[in-house]
A = this chain, B = another copy of it.
Amino acid sequence: MHEKLKLAALRAMIPRMPFNKTLGMRVARAHKDGVTIEIPLREELMNVAGVLHGGVTATIADAAVGVAIWHHFGGRRRATTTELKINYFRPIERGKVVARSRLLRVGKHLVVGSVEITDADGNSAGFATVTYMLLDAAPAHRGG
Protein backbone atom coordinates (compact mmCIF):
# COMPACT_ATOMS: atom_id res chain seq x y z
CA MET A 1 0.00 0.00 0.00
CA HIS A 2 2.87 2.35 0.77
CA GLU A 3 6.49 2.18 1.78
CA LYS A 4 7.35 2.05 5.44
CA LEU A 5 9.57 4.76 6.79
CA LYS A 6 12.93 3.41 7.69
CA LEU A 7 14.10 3.34 11.31
CA ALA A 8 16.43 6.23 10.58
CA ALA A 9 13.51 8.34 9.44
CA LEU A 10 11.51 7.45 12.54
CA ARG A 11 14.48 8.39 14.69
CA ALA A 12 14.76 11.72 12.94
CA MET A 13 11.23 12.58 14.09
CA ILE A 14 12.05 12.85 17.76
CA PRO A 15 14.28 15.95 17.63
CA ARG A 16 11.45 17.70 15.79
CA MET A 17 9.08 17.08 18.72
CA PRO A 18 10.40 19.37 21.45
CA PHE A 19 8.89 17.65 24.51
CA ASN A 20 9.92 14.19 23.37
CA LYS A 21 13.42 15.59 22.85
CA THR A 22 13.28 17.20 26.32
CA LEU A 23 12.60 13.74 27.75
CA GLY A 24 15.47 12.16 25.81
CA MET A 25 13.19 9.80 23.90
CA ARG A 26 14.76 7.41 21.38
CA VAL A 27 13.18 5.05 18.83
CA ALA A 28 14.81 1.66 19.49
CA ARG A 29 13.09 -0.57 16.94
CA ALA A 30 10.38 -0.58 14.29
CA HIS A 31 8.14 -3.66 14.17
CA LYS A 32 5.50 -4.77 11.69
CA ASP A 33 2.70 -3.73 14.04
CA GLY A 34 4.30 -0.94 16.07
CA VAL A 35 7.52 0.45 17.51
CA THR A 36 9.72 0.26 20.60
CA ILE A 37 10.72 3.54 22.23
CA GLU A 38 12.96 4.17 25.22
CA ILE A 39 13.78 6.97 27.65
CA PRO A 40 16.88 6.67 29.84
CA LEU A 41 16.14 7.67 33.43
CA ARG A 42 17.71 10.78 34.88
CA GLU A 43 17.10 13.01 37.88
CA GLU A 44 14.88 15.58 36.10
CA LEU A 45 12.33 12.88 35.22
CA MET A 46 11.81 11.52 38.73
CA ASN A 47 9.01 11.93 41.22
CA VAL A 48 9.31 12.75 44.92
CA ALA A 49 9.68 9.08 45.81
CA GLY A 50 12.85 8.56 43.75
CA VAL A 51 10.99 6.74 41.00
CA LEU A 52 10.12 7.70 37.43
CA HIS A 53 7.20 10.16 37.29
CA GLY A 54 4.04 8.57 35.90
CA GLY A 55 3.69 11.53 33.56
CA VAL A 56 6.86 10.44 31.74
CA THR A 57 5.38 6.97 31.36
CA ALA A 58 2.15 8.41 29.99
CA THR A 59 4.15 10.55 27.57
CA ILE A 60 6.16 7.62 26.21
CA ALA A 61 2.93 5.61 25.79
CA ASP A 62 1.36 8.46 23.83
CA ALA A 63 4.47 8.81 21.67
CA ALA A 64 4.82 5.06 21.08
CA VAL A 65 1.41 4.95 19.41
CA GLY A 66 1.99 8.24 17.59
CA VAL A 67 5.26 7.02 16.09
CA ALA A 68 3.62 3.68 15.21
CA ILE A 69 0.95 5.56 13.26
CA TRP A 70 3.63 7.61 11.51
CA HIS A 71 5.37 4.34 10.68
CA HIS A 72 2.17 2.66 9.49
CA PHE A 73 1.24 5.43 7.09
CA GLY A 74 4.76 6.16 5.97
CA GLY A 75 4.44 9.64 7.44
CA ARG A 76 1.57 10.58 5.12
CA ARG A 77 -1.19 11.14 7.65
CA ARG A 78 -1.33 13.56 10.55
CA ALA A 79 -3.04 12.43 13.73
CA THR A 80 -3.78 13.81 17.18
CA THR A 81 -4.30 12.02 20.49
CA THR A 82 -7.94 12.00 21.58
CA GLU A 83 -7.65 9.85 24.70
CA LEU A 84 -5.17 7.81 26.70
CA LYS A 85 -5.63 5.19 29.41
CA ILE A 86 -2.75 3.82 31.45
CA ASN A 87 -2.34 1.38 34.34
CA TYR A 88 0.83 1.49 36.44
CA PHE A 89 2.00 -1.88 37.80
CA ARG A 90 5.27 -1.14 39.52
CA PRO A 91 7.66 1.81 39.90
CA ILE A 92 10.73 2.21 37.68
CA GLU A 93 13.78 3.28 39.66
CA ARG A 94 16.77 3.04 37.34
CA GLY A 95 18.02 2.31 33.85
CA LYS A 96 15.31 3.19 31.39
CA VAL A 97 11.64 2.93 30.59
CA VAL A 98 10.72 0.99 27.44
CA ALA A 99 7.42 1.27 25.53
CA ARG A 100 6.38 -1.30 22.90
CA SER A 101 3.31 -0.23 20.94
CA ARG A 102 0.97 -2.31 18.77
CA LEU A 103 -1.75 -0.89 16.53
CA LEU A 104 -4.93 -2.75 17.46
CA ARG A 105 -7.30 -0.94 15.13
CA VAL A 106 -6.76 1.36 12.16
CA GLY A 107 -10.15 2.77 11.30
CA LYS A 108 -11.28 5.43 8.88
CA HIS A 109 -11.16 8.13 11.56
CA LEU A 110 -9.71 6.56 14.72
CA VAL A 111 -6.58 4.50 15.41
CA VAL A 112 -6.21 2.59 18.69
CA GLY A 113 -2.92 1.18 19.93
CA SER A 114 -1.83 -0.72 23.02
CA VAL A 115 1.49 -0.14 24.78
CA GLU A 116 3.41 -2.49 27.04
CA ILE A 117 5.66 -0.61 29.44
CA THR A 118 8.72 -2.40 30.81
CA ASP A 119 11.83 -1.52 32.79
CA ALA A 120 15.44 -2.11 31.71
CA ASP A 121 15.25 -5.75 32.87
CA GLY A 122 12.08 -6.44 30.90
CA ASN A 123 9.79 -6.47 33.93
CA SER A 124 6.27 -5.35 33.18
CA ALA A 125 5.72 -1.88 34.63
CA GLY A 126 2.46 -0.77 33.07
CA PHE A 127 0.03 -0.99 30.18
CA ALA A 128 -1.65 1.72 28.13
CA THR A 129 -4.28 2.11 25.42
CA VAL A 130 -4.15 5.24 23.26
CA THR A 131 -6.59 6.58 20.66
CA TYR A 132 -5.57 8.96 17.89
CA MET A 133 -7.87 10.69 15.44
CA LEU A 134 -6.63 10.88 11.88
CA LEU A 135 -6.76 14.43 10.52
CA ASP A 136 -7.37 15.46 6.96
CA ALA A 137 -5.13 13.71 4.48
CA ALA A 138 -2.62 16.50 4.73
CA PRO A 139 1.17 16.10 4.62
CA ALA A 140 2.46 14.63 7.85
CA HIS A 141 4.40 17.70 8.90
CA ARG A 142 4.43 21.43 8.36
CA GLY A 143 6.81 22.98 5.97
CA GLY A 144 8.00 19.55 4.85
Mask, A24-61, CB within 8 Å of B = 1, is 00000000000000000001111111100111101110
A residues engaging B (CB < 8 A)?
Answer: 13, 16-23, 43-50, 53-56, 58-60, 62-63, 78, 80-91, 104-105, 107, 109-110, 112, 114, 124, 127, 129, 131, 133, 141-142
CB nearest neighbor in B for A79: B49
Whether B62 contacts A89 by the Cβ 8 Å rule is no
Whether B54 contacts A81 by the Cβ 8 Å rule is yes
Chain B residues whose C-beta falls within 8 Å of the C-beta of A114 in the assembled complex: 114, 127
- Contact pick for A80, options B44, B59, B91, CB 8 Å: B91
Whether A48 contacts B83 by the Cβ 8 Å rule is no
- Contact pick for A13, options B19, B48, B142, CB 8 Å: B48
Whether B83 contacts A87 by the Cβ 8 Å rule is yes
Chain B nearest Cβ from A22, distance in angstroms: 5
Chain B residues whose C-beta falls within 8 Å of the C-beta of A141 in the assembled complex: 48
Whether B46 contacts A55 by the Cβ 8 Å rule is no
CB nearest neighbor in B for A51: B80
Chain B residues whose C-beta falls within 8 Å of the C-beta of A142 in the assembled complex: 49-50
- 13 further A-B pairs in the complex, CB-CB below 8 A; given A22-B44, A58-B84, A87-B129: A18-B47, A19-B45, A54-B59, A55-B56, A55-B60, A58-B86, A83-B83, A83-B86, A84-B88, A87-B104, A89-B105, A89-B107, A109-B109
